Structure 1
């Protein structure tokens, strides 16, 4: 990483970064401004009064937590295997896994619907959790593998000399040392699972299982389209993600910068 020592250079870099941020911040400003238009705080109160809002929030929390756990466990084990274990044809398997990044959600709807129906998973949490986790694993493995590759091989060799097998090396070396990239994986997975709209809409039909991303549909009808309340629901939906990012910001930035460079 480079470091700018001069005051003029730091000021120029700050101005440059601020200018780059404007196109991304503008939609957020418009969303928040629109959420307070009209009735103001009444828009948020109307969203919170939606029948079953609390249950929708809990459903989203359950799905996001399950997806995060699955993605974290699978990603760490796969990335460790691809980075440090001598597996035959591991590069072939790795590139086959990355090929899954080309699969969008909409392409998978028909086969997933048939599979869920046959296995009896339709209209259950697992109908959403498993596909979401599977779609997040390839990118998470790509980041995590690069991070684990940067760990010195001498650490693992010393562990083997002390009698530790691959399992103990994974538990006592990889897991503690990959906290930064683990935070990055957590944030990316949380955003994807929490914001997903398509899978809950298609695979969850029971009102008791619907997620918070489906709340805006209560304000869209044949003769009504209350944009202020839709934007208010979007603001409320984004709060958990913002809190999670602010809580893990330092680890997230370290992990993302290290995981993006081999």
Structure 2
């Protein structure tokens, strides 16, 4: 990492970073402050008292966990193939995959809905999990390949000389060395899957399949919303991802930095 040796340079850098963070802290602070208007903690009590509150958290946790599992396995195998295996025209396949990054989620809702109906997945968690995974895999493969490119080829050549199969190289060489990028992938997927709103709103048609991002809907009225309770629900929804990021911050930053350098 780069170091600033002089006191003036450190103070200048600290000032610049503080100024850069302020625009992000202002809306968060306003949201938290507004959530205590009126009855104060009573707003949070109202959120916790929503019917099925804990079930909503379990549903979101299940969607996030399955999305993480699918994306991690698929991403690591694809990145390993693109980076270290000799595959004919693999760069063509890679850039075709990258082209999927240009597809916004909202544009795909209609074909995804039609596909879910034809496959009998409408009203199931898989109608949300599979699109979440499909939409995130191109980006996760991009950053994972950048990280795996930095692993010396000599390690895999040595494993091959020792008689290791491709699967053995993947499991015994790549997976242990790729833990930093794995943590980064887990954090990114957790945040995106936990905060998913449009897909659960469209595909989870049963009342007992709600997710945490739908909690503010309970405080929306026909002509005006109960804003403090809506914001309290947003704060409660954000807590798990904030805790996860703080707990994995160092590994996440290390993995993202390594994945960005090719």
TM-score (normalised: structure 2): 0.98
Q: Distance in 2 between matches of 1:71 and 1:124?
A: 19
CA RMSD of aligned residues (A): 0.9
Aligned pairs for 1:203-218 (under 5 A) are 203-218=203-218
Q: Aligned pair 1:195/2:195, yes or no?
A: yes
- Runs of 4+ in structure 1 deviating by more than 6 angstroms, as ranges, are none
1:93: which partner in 2? 93
Q: Distance in 1 between matches of 2:8 and 2:157?
A: 46
* 1:162 shift after superposition: 1.3
Superimposed CA distance per residue, residues 180-214 of structure 1 (whole angstroms, 9 cap, x where no aligned partner): 11111111111111001100000011011111111
* 1:6 shift after superposition: 2.1
Superimposed CA distance per residue, residues 220-259 of structure 1 (whole angstroms, 9 cap, x where no aligned partner): 0214410100100000000110111111111000001111
Q: Distance in 2 between matches of 1:10 and 1:89?
A: 48
* 1:9 shift after superposition: 1.6
* 1:145 shift after superposition: 0.1
Q: What are the ranges of 5 or more consecutive residues in structure 1 without an aligned counterpart?
A: none
Mean Cα displacement is larger for which, 89-98 or 217-226?
217-226
1:46: which partner in 2? 46
Q: Residue 26 of structure 1 aligns to a residue in which SS?
A: helix
Q: Distance in 1 between matches of 2:6 and 2:158?
A: 42
1:226: which partner in 2? 226
Q: Distance in 2 between matches of 1:157 and 1:187?
A: 31
1:235: which partner in 2? 235
Q: Distance in 1 between matches of 2:48 and 2:30?
A: 21
Q: Aligned pair 1:164/2:164, yes or no?
A: yes
Q: Residue 182 of structure 2 aligns to a residue in which SS?
A: helix
Q: Distance in 1 between matches of 2:130 and 2:44?
A: 32
Q: Distance in 1 between matches of 2:196 and 2:156?
A: 39
Aligned pairs for 1:16-95 (under 5 A) are 16-95=16-95
* 1:3 shift after superposition: 2.0
2:8: which partner in 1? 8
Q: What are the ranges of 5 or more consecutive residues in structure 2 without an aligned counterpart?
A: none
Q: Distance in 2 between matches of 1:181 and 1:7?
A: 33
Mean Cα displacement is larger for which, 43-52 or 176-185?
176-185
Q: Residue 28 of structure 1 aligns to a residue in which SS?
A: helix
